[in-house]
Amino acid sequence: MAILEVRDLSAGYGPIRALDGVSIDVGEGETVAIIGANGAGKTTLLMAIVGVVPARSGSVAFQGRPITGLPTHVVSRMGIGHAPEGRRIFPRLSVRENLELGGFTQTDRQALKRDIDEACGMFPVLGERMAQMGGTLSGGEQQMLALARALVGRPKLLLLDEPSLGLAPLIVERIFDVIGSLAKRGISVVLVEQNARAALRLADRGYVLETGRVTLTGPGAELAHDRRVREAYLGEG
Amino acid sequence: MFFLQQCLIGLTNGALVALVALGYTMVYGIIGLINFAHGDLIMLGACLALTLVGALGIAAGGGAATWAGVAALVLLCGLFCGGLNVAVDRIVYKPLRNAPKLAPLVSAIGVSFIFMNAGLFWLGPADRSFPDLVPSTNLLAHDGLQFTLKDLLVVLVVVPLMVGLSLLVRTTRLGKAMRAVSQDPVAAALVGVDVDRVIAATFFIGGFLGGAASVIYGLYINTIGFQMGFQNGLYAFTAAVLGGIGSIPGAVLGGLVIGLVRALSSAYVGERWTGAIVFAILIVILVFRPEGLLGRRTREKV
Ligand SMILES: Nc1ncnc2c1ncn2[C@@H]1O[C@H](COP(=O)(O)OP(=O)(O)OP(=O)(O)O)[C@@H](O)[C@H]1O
Ligand SMILES: [Mg+2]
């Protein structure tokens, strides 16, 4: 059964139609890549799934339950984690407090501590920066914090919006390693990426988004070999 | 000795200003709204306090009974102002959350007028005297220096409230959520924070502090009137800006500074110059430190 079902979803901003009847599915434990040019509507799609951007029509179901129109915090508490575009860590909270907020709904202090330790195990540098303010971290460290913060909430589904943007190759590799390990831990992933090559290599399936519509979909490897994808997103041609 | 006395008066008054300033700074910190109705909310708190003194039969000089009465006043007026503040947020500001900043601001001015009219209804047009439940007995064995029972009352109410607030904001789950919402409400919602509830809690706390301040104001100044909200609100707002609006320690510092300046300028320059001097100092400080004494220099708004 699909953990996430998006059906004919439309959304926008004032007169702008950013999403125009998008349908995607994410299977249990599956990693799905969404690729597309700037302004294609990738961020809007993720934000519409969690209700930050209201849906104008269409529906979203999570684990078979409709979540269209639910407030964002309710969707989050159902088990959807989100590492949003631009990281959006809390700049004037310490790294520890940022991580604690990731587990905001976890009331068992011991369990929260374990979850934070586990997240720091994946990104040891965060463990060394616990008392530092989030805003003083480097870009790469902030991205790790955003990912770790989302993981502390023990999501069943994780939405990642361009986690590799602007980062050095070594850090990108580290972050993709972690994303690749999520499936083994039973976490389904929606990965939005400009770095289409890496994303499609990692993903079970992919969707190509163009001006708010899905124009192409298929298994990751297949998409990576598609002529149109290679020309438009892999810089070949 | 005279100077020391003026400083004492200034600090006590300043503590009261700070309590009101906190209401401005907390609401601004969380939703970026200058809540113009806050001063008038406190006026309504004072109305309730006056009514309750009669209704509960709280009398002066009753020792423990009087103090218990005062504590009940602080609690009830705190709850009243906190609740009223939350109701106003729900009804007036919440529907305007995504509207241009000017809309809630103008609405706040409207709420201020509505409150003032309610106060006019409640108290009548003339100033009313507030019962002198706590006498001005000097607690110091010194003729030149006065620290009265009234001053002690201010300290006894203000200090625990401020310590409590500081602990709440720094150490509790709600406090962490409040700071998160003030920095990035969308990111806070994404981790499961119910942003509207956190905002409501902030309005409640700000209102509660204002309600407590209204009782102390009545007991300390002994005169209340339906127009008291404007001037007191203005001084408290000034204190919040002076300290750096959005900053909790800033509001406390700003309140104390304003209290001191008011007391010293009344003593050395003359009462009628006080307002001018306070605002001249505000302007000078803002010219050199636009973000206020303890405010942040850069706003990293996403
Ligand atoms: N807050 C907003 N207000 C108005 N228009 C917006 C807003 N956010 C996005 N848009 C518009 O909606 C469309 C889709 O934007 P979106 O951010 O979803 O694209 P994207 O695929 O994430 O792009 P990028 O790769 O650059 O992040 C764009 O045309 C954009 O200009
Ligand atoms: Mg985007």
Contact residues, chain B, for A91 at CB < 8 Å: 183, 300
Which value, in Å, is the radius of gyration of the alpha carbons in chain A?
17
Nearest to B302 among A50, A52, A88 (CB): A88
- For atom 7 of ligand 1, the residue with the nearest CA is A13
What percentage of chain B reaches a pLDDT higher than 90? 83
CB contact under 8 A, A100 and B192: no
- For atom 29 of ligand 1, the residue with the nearest CA is A39
Nearest to B191 among A71, A92, A102 (CB): A102
Rounded to an integer, the average pLDDT of B96-104 is: 92
Number of other residues whose CB lies within 10 A of the CB of residue A176: 19
Q: What pLDDT score does B299 carry? A: 47
Cα–Cα dist A71/A81, whole Å: 14
pLDDT at B300 exceeding the cut of 50? no
Label residue A218 left, alpha or beta by phi (over 0 means left) and psi (-120 to 50 means alpha): left
Q: Which two tokens stand for residue B11?
A: 């600090």
CB contact under 8 A, B183 and A102: no
CB contact under 8 A, B186 and A88: yes
Contact residues, chain B, for A157 at CB < 8 Å: none
Q: Which residue of B has its CA nearest to A91?
A: B183
pLDDT at B298 exceeding the cut of 70? no
CB contact under 8 A, A77 and B180: no
Q: What pLDDT score does B52 carry? A: 97
- pLDDT class for B144, splitting at 50, 70, 90? confident
B289 touching A (Cβ < 8 Å): no
Instruction: Give how far A9 is from chain B: nearest CA, Å.
Output: 20
ipTM entry: 0.96
What is the topology classification, in CATH, of domain A2-79+155-233?
Rossmann fold (3.40.50)
Half-sphere exposure of residue B191, counting CA atoms within 13 Å on the CB side?
Answer: 31
CA–centroid distance, A137 to ligand 2, in Å, is 22
- pLDDT class for A237, splitting at 50, 70, 90? low
Which value, in Å, is the radius of gyration of the alpha carbons in chain B?
19
Q: Name the more confident of B230 and B302.
A: B230
Q: Is A86 in the pocket of ligand 1 (CB under 6 A)?
A: no
pLDDT at B302 exceeding the cut of 70? no
CA–centroid distance, A198 to ligand 2, in Å, is 17
Residues with CB under 5 A from ligand 2 (ion): A 42-43, 85
What percentage of chain B reaches a pLDDT higher than 70? 98
Instruction: Give how far B231 is from chain A: nearest CA, Å.
Output: 34
What are the C-alpha distances in Å from A133 to residues A9, A126, B205, B252, B275? 38, 11, 26, 24, 40
Q: What is the pLDDT of residues B5-63, one digit of tens each?
A: 999 999 999 999 999 999 999 999 999 999 999 999 999 999 999 999 999 988 887 78
Q: Answer for the pair A202, A220: CB distance below 8 angstroms, yes or no.
A: yes
Q: What pLDDT score does B150 carry? A: 92
Q: Which two tokens stand for residue A27?
A: 């299977």
Q: Which residues, numbered 246 to 285 in chain B, qualify as contacts with chain A under a Cβ-Cβ cut-off of 8 Å?
A: none
What percentage of chain A reaches a pLDDT higher than 90? 86
| Helix, coil or strand: residue A57 | strand
Q: What is the pLDDT of residues A192-225, one digit of tens each?
A: 998 888 899 999 999 999 999 999 999 999 998 9
pLDDT at B229 exceeding the cut of 90? yes
Q: Name the more confident of B299 and A214.
A: A214
CB contact under 8 A, B192 and A86: no
CA–centroid distance, A18 to ligand 1, in Å, is 7
- pLDDT class for B145, splitting at 50, 70, 90? confident
Q: Which residue of B has its CA nearest to A98?
A: B180
Please state, rounded to an integer, the average pLDDT across all residues of chain B: 93
Selected residue of A44, A77, A80, A90 to mutate for chain B interface (largest B Cβ count, 10 A): A90
Q: What is the pLDDT of residues A107-122, one digit of tens each?
A: 899 999 999 999 999 9
> pTM for this structure?
0.94
Q: Which two tokens stand for residue A151?
A: 């993981």
Q: Which residue of B has its CA nearest to A154?
A: B191
CB contact under 8 A, A82 and B190: yes
Question: In chain A, where are the structural domains located?
Answer: 2-79+155-233, 92-154
Instruction: Give how far A226 is from chain B: nearest CA, Å.
Output: 35
Selected residue of B191, B196, B198 to mutate for chain A interface (largest A Cβ count, 10 A): B191
Half-sphere exposure of residue B279, counting CA atoms within 13 Å on the CB side?
Answer: 8
Indicate the CATH number of B2-133+144-288 among 3.40.720, 2.60.120, 1.10.3470, 3.90.1570: 1.10.3470
Q: Which residue of B has its CA nearest to A159?
A: B190
CB contact under 8 A, B189 and A76: yes
pLDDT at B70 exceeding the cut of 70? yes
pLDDT at B301 exceeding the cut of 70? no
Q: Which two tokens stand for residue B276?
A: 């001018």
CA–centroid distance, A56 to ligand 1, in Å, is 16
- For atom 6 of ligand 1, the residue with the nearest CA is A13
Q: Is A15 in the pocket of ligand 1 (CB under 6 A)?
A: no
Q: What is the pLDDT of residues A140-192, one digit of tens each?
A: 999 999 999 999 999 999 999 999 988 889 889 989 999 999 999 999 999 99
Instruction: Produce one character per residue of A61-80: b if its CB has 16 or more CB atoms within 10 Å, e if not.
Output: bbbeeebbebbbbebbbbbb
Q: Which two tokens stand for residue B60?
A: 């002066």
CA–centroid distance, A86 to ligand 2, in Å, is 9
pLDDT at B286 exceeding the cut of 90? no
Q: What pLDDT score does A171 carry? A: 87
Residues sharing a CB contact under 8 Å with residue B87, sequence separation 6 or more, in sequence order? none
